Copies of this chain bind each other. A is one copy, B any other.
């Protein structure tokens, strides 16, 4: 068991280092210094610097996957909204409680580095797909109006990501409940007061695609 502990320790230190300086600016030296182990020890547990990063990302993705549940429509419109809220709440809660992981995820976004992209892209794609599914479900139940699900699902993900990004950057933010409520509220109701909405003619139907 000692062995797993050691490994976990190095992994945790690597996470902190990566979260602080980003992948490229972090050196193996940084990691082992923080972990208090010798250079060789690091390579005893991990094949390479890159491997560690991948493992952290994998862990993070796995964690998030357990947090996001597919929407079950059988519980009615109130239930659906509650489930959406629950998903957002779970994801944000878990990342806010794990700042290093959050920073890692946001640093990951950095992408453009072609090699990290695939994993990250896959992850977000799945998130987007789940969101799209929820939108279609909601539309079928006549809870959600006709929207371009592709674009709107990105908008939803985007709102969450941006708030998390600010938190990752160290910005002071209201506590989670308020964040979630406000994000959800924004997503569901938008900005307008109803009268204005109708006055502005925002009531035309459009196709789901």
Contacts and interface: CB of A to CB of B under 8 A. Distances in A.
Interface in A76-122: 77-78, 81, 103, 106-114, 117, 121
Contacts of A179: 151
B182 A113 contact: no
A190 B193 contact: no
A121 B178 CA distance: 23
Contact of A21 (B114, B188, B189, B200): B114
Contact of A178 (B20, B151, B162, B168): B151
B24 A24 contact: yes
Interface in A165-209: 165-166, 168-169, 173-174, 178-179, 182-183, 185-194, 196-200, 202-203
B22 A113 contact: yes
Contact of A143 (B19, B112, B193): B193
A32 to B, nearest CB: 15
B163 A155 contact: yes
Interface of A: 19-22, 24-25, 77-78, 81, 103, 106-114, 117, 121, 135, 138, 142-145, 147-148, 150-152, 154-155, 157-163, 165-166, 168-169, 173-174, 178-179, 182-183, 185-194, 196-200, 202-203
* 10 A-B pairs closest in CB distance: A110-B110, A158-B162, A190-B190, A155-B159, A24-B24, A158-B158, A107-B112, A189-B190, A22-B112, A151-B182
